[in-house]
Each structure stands twice: as structure tokens, then as C-alpha cells.
A and B are shown apart, each in its own frame.
Chain A
Amino acid sequence: MSTSSYLIRRVLQAVVVIVIVTIVVFGLLHALPGGPARGILGPQATAQQIASFNHEQGLDKPLPVQYFYYLNQLLHGDLGTSYTLNEPVSQLISERLAKTLVLTALSAIVGLVLAIPLGMWQAVRRNKPVDYVITTLSFIAYSTPVYFLGLILVLVFSQALPWFPSQAPQGDTLAQVFSDPLALVLPVAAGAASMIAVFSRYMRAATLENLSEDYVRTARAGGSRSRSILWRHVFRNSLTPVIAMLGYYVPVLFGGALVVEQLFNYPGMGLLFWTAAQSSDYPVLLGCVLVIAIATVVGTLLADIVQRIIDPRVKAGRA
């Protein structure tokens, strides 16, 4: 398959996935007890009030008609209006999305910068004590609920040792968020931990695979020093698949942000989602789910494309 027809097919697939997500979100909205009307009018509303509201909003029309109406709204960037904050959901999300992206990006960068050398170190020292220790620590980090880790971090590095604040930076703008870098340390650490665990494993496996390739033996036979082979060849070849994994990791990062933002009171999309869940603010909840799902689908798409373009073996394998 040529690269361009692969691209077209892959983008079409992504569009289909997003359409399925909108059907799921639409289905959830209508599966609510009493439907959207009960959500907006509250538990005290009479049957008559609900009926007239449904008529006004077009909610008495057949479901497929309503779905296309919903889809049409989405295409115009309209995600509905929050029940409790009385603001357009799209506006609420766009105000907070940037903050969530900054936090997750910082966690991802810190996570990768630590995980990659750790994984390589493990591969080079395979089955030595270092390898065992890092493997064990990775599994422990992976097995720890993020909120428990966050709590321990706060108890140790904020209560016992007063090094960092226990709250994330507050404020509406990104400038305010960055004005207090110390306050970012604990939330970023909590978000990066499982990332380090997972990606050091990937990097270890990728490095081991490359170390056993013929080109390494050839380079060694040609007299290259181990260190230069490791950094000039193995590092670069191992990095590609690991970076591509990042695209598939997007939903996990958002899941982590949900907990970290609540725990450290960071005013991003996760916290918005959390408060919306407490007040049953369904338009906000479903709007967030949709935005995150689209971000994930795009992330996976980019990962597939990057892998396809950079690594010729992927192309050969699928053709």
C-alpha cells in the first residue's frame, strides 16, 4: 500500500471512530434517568413541565433526528450550555484545556526524559542488580493509585519537609500558572511516575531488541566502541517506537490529569469534569468526554503516521 492511500484510509478510520464516540456520548445523554430535561429542571419538575421543555428543545422528535441535530451543533462548535455555570460548555473547556495540556505535557516530558536513559541503562545492564531494582520500582510505580502517590508526596515533601506547596498554582491564565514553578513540582511528579514506569519498560525492550541486531555486531566487529554504538545507532533506532507509543498513551495521561488536578486543586479540565460530576452537570461531562476522545483519536492517528513515515520496516510489515 502506498503511503498516500494509507494516510487516506487511516484518516477515514479516525473519522469513523469519532462518529462512534459521538453516538456513545449522545446515547449516554439520552440514557440518563429522565433524560436531559430532568437534569436541567431538577427532581422537583412536574411531568407537564418536562413535556413542554422537551417540546421546546425538540427532545420529543425521533432519536435519529435529534442525533443529526446534535451532530450539526457539534460541527458548529456548540457543545451545549452548562446547567450550573450557565456558560457555553465549549467556552468552559477552552479556558481550561490549555492548563490541562500544560500539566500533562510537563508530566510527559519529565517522564520521558527520565524513562529513556533508565530503560537504556537497564538494557545494557540486563539481569544485573540495577536492572532488577529499576524493574521492581517500575512495577511498584505502575501499581500505585495516583491519588495515594499524590498523598504520600504531599505528606513527605510538603508536610514533613516543607519544600513544596501542597496546592498547584492557582489562577486563570497560563502566566499565573508558570509564576509559581515550585507549586508545579508535586503535581508533575505525581503525573510522571506511572509514565516513567511504563516508558522505561518500553525503552528497555526496544534497546534490547536493537542490541541483538546484526548492525550492532557489524559495527562492533568494525571496531566501534560500545558507547558510540549505543548512542549513535541503538539510541536513535530504539527511540522511534517509544515516542510513537506516546500517541497511544494520551488517554492514560488524561485519566491521570483527572486525579492529579482534583488532588492538587489545579483549575484545569480534570477539575472542571470533577465538579461537573458532583453537580450532575451532564453537558459539561459529555463535552469533556468528547474533547478527550477526539484528542486521543488524533494522538493515535499521529503516532501511526509518524511511525509509518519514520520507520520503513512498518511499511514493509503491513504491505
Chain B
Amino acid sequence: MSAVIQPGQAPGTATATATGTVSGSRLAVRRFLRNRLAVVGLGVVVFFFLLCFAGPLVYSTDQTHTMLQQVNLAPSGSHWLGTDAVGHDELGRLMYGGKVSLIVGLAAGILATVIGTLWGAAAGYAGGWIDAVMMRIVDAGIAIPALFILLVVSAITTPGLTGLIVILGFVSWLVPSRLIRAETLTLKNRDYVLTLRAIGGTHSRAITRHILPNSVSTIIVATTFQIADAILLVAYVSYLGLGVQPPATDWGGMLSAGLTAAYSGYWWLILPPGLAIILVVWAFNAIGDGLRDAFDVRGRG
């Protein structure tokens, strides 16, 4: 979903009063910490990482063997969130599937930002007709909704984990490329870039040593929003038939598997993965919002 939720500051963002002694990055940290929603978001993300990666050490469950004598059990003392249709412990599955959702979401979000950054910086720096052609390709990509591309891909192939990350990265790099291009356009005519060119510095040096380092706050903010969108997209992936194969799963896969079970009243099969997705996506959006205000970066669209 390449939707853009952004303009305006989040409520609770007070503009920090700069004192002469405070450095830029410490000021940014201070501004970020003043945004209560962003701090809560950071807490939610840390909680889910601990739950998924450290949780299994404390709450160990068997997620490979089916146990048909204990299917669809309601939550109880021995199974805190009950069991699913093949007898897997649901809380254990939430941790196990969460690893996949978080890793794929992070990796795809970062990949999308990397592709978008390189594309946008190259287009903006080159300018002229190269820029025009590159940006029309971005327009064409944005015109085709990601869900449709993903469904076409699912009709052709079932990718593995790496394949999934690559596909998701390649359907969602368009919005960051526009942001970085806009940033590059303003940076490339700054004095230090012009000076570098005048003394014989190469184009790639101008991009890698000056333009990208100066776009770093835009890139960080874009990455955070991109990760939020990627985790949401991962949740659609199983629903569209592209998901990881059993016995592996992710939150979206658990949700899709629970769709029919929900009609039988097995609420514990859909609410935990559903709420986990909503909370984590919300948290990354809130963090992105806070970072944008802290860095004073313009919009996201």
C-alpha cells in the first residue's frame, strides 16, 4: 500500500527551543522524546522484538509437529492464547510468525528505500531528459497498485523468503525515490557540490560524499515509513497466496488461516495476529512521524 499518511505534525509535538550549546543531533533526540506517541511507538517495537526473538527462550513451544489431540483449544493456563487448527500453541506461533513478519518487513522496507534512494539521487543529480524518463518510470510504477502486481506474481510463482523480500522491495521503492529526488535537486546546486565539480571531483563522489550524507535524515524518515508499509504489505502477502510455506508462517498467514475459524468463534486465532500487525505498523508510523518532526524533514509524499 503506497498510501501516504502524513501531513502536519502529530499532536504533542512541541517545537524545542534551541539553546546555543545543544548540538543538532541531541536537539533532534530531545525533540523526538517530547513526542509522546513516538516514544510509545518505540516502546511497542522494542516489546515485539523482545517477544518474538527472546520470548521463545522463556515460553518454549513445539511449532513443527501437529498435535491433533489438542486442536482449537481456548486459552488456558497451559496454552496462554489457546491452540490452532493443527494443535500448535498460539502464543508460541505469534512469536514464531512474528520473526518472519518483522524480518521480512524490515528487510523489504530497507531494500525499497535503498533502491528508491539510488534511483532518486541519480535522477535528480542527472537532471534533464534522463531525470524526466526516470521519473516517468516512477509514475508508471505508482499507477499500478502493488496488490495487483503481487497477485499476478502469485499466479506465476511461489517465492522463498529471500524472493519475497526482493519482490516486496521492488514494488515499494517508488515513493522514497520521489522524496530523495526532491532532496537531491536542492542539494546539487549548493556551493560545496559546485566547488567539488569545479576542482575536478567526479559525479559519483558528489553523490556519495555530499548528496547522500546530507539527505540522511530524509532517508531515515523514509525508511521508517517504508518499514511500516512493508509490514502491512507482508500481512497481505499470505492472503494473496504468496506467503511463506507451512510449517513456517507469519502474522498474515496466521490471520488468513484463522479467517474461517473465526466464524466458529475461535477468536484467539485471529485477534492476536491481527492486533500484533496493527500495533507494529502503528508503532513504526508513529516513530516515523516523531523522527520527521525531530529532524524537521518535509512531508512524505
Contact = CB atoms under 8 A, between A and B. Distances in A.
Contacts of A28: 152
A21 B144 contact: yes
Please name the 7 residue pairs, one residue from A and one from B, whose CB atoms are nearest each other, closest first: A205-B8, A205-B7, A143-B281, A20-B140, A255-B145, A293-B143, A296-B143
A32 B156 contact: yes
Interface in A112-156: 122, 126-127, 131-132, 135-136, 138-140, 142-145, 147-148, 151-152, 155
Interface string A1-37: 0000000000001001110110010001000110000
Interface stretch (B61-69, B76-84, B228-236): B228-236
A264 interface: no
A198 interface: yes
Interface residues of B, number: 53
A13 B262 CA distance: 48
For the residues of A in contact with B, the DSSP-based class is helix
A132 to B, nearest CB: 5
Interface in A232-270: 248-249, 251-252, 254-255, 258-259
Interface residues of A, number: 65
Given A33-B156, A143-B279, A292-B145, 19 more contacts: A18-B140, A21-B140, A28-B152, A127-B12, A131-B11, A139-B282, A142-B281, A143-B285, A144-B278, A148-B278, A201-B8, A204-B7, A248-B4, A255-B1, A258-B151, A285-B151, A288-B148, A289-B148, A297-B139
A135 B154 CA distance: 35
A206 interface: yes
Contact of A148 (B1, B6, B277, B301): B277
Contacts of B4: 198, 248
Contacts of B146: 255
Interface of B: 1-8, 10-12, 37, 136-137, 139-140, 142-149, 151-152, 154-157, 228, 232, 235-236, 239-241, 252, 255-256, 259, 262-263, 270, 274, 277-279, 281-282, 285-286, 301
Nearest to B3: A252
Contacts of B286: 139
Interface string A193-230: 01001100110111011000000000000000000000
A254 B262 contact: no
Contacts of A209: 8
Contacts of B255: 145, 147-148
A204 B3 contact: no
A274 B277 contact: no
Contacts of A127: 11-12
A273 B10 contact: no
Most chain A C-beta atoms within 10 Å of own C-beta, residue among B8, B270, B301: B8
Given A24-B140, A24-B144, A285-B155, A132 B5 contact: no
Interface of A: 13, 16-18, 20-21, 24, 28, 32-33, 122, 126-127, 131-132, 135-136, 138-140, 142-145, 147-148, 151-152, 155, 159, 194, 197-198, 201-202, 204-206, 208-209, 248-249, 251-252, 254-255, 258-259, 273-274, 276-278, 280, 282, 285-286, 288-289, 292-294, 296-297, 300
A296 B7 CA distance: 22
9 contacts: A17-B140, A28-B152, A127-B12, A142-B282, A142-B285, A144-B274, A144-B278, A249-B3, A258-B148
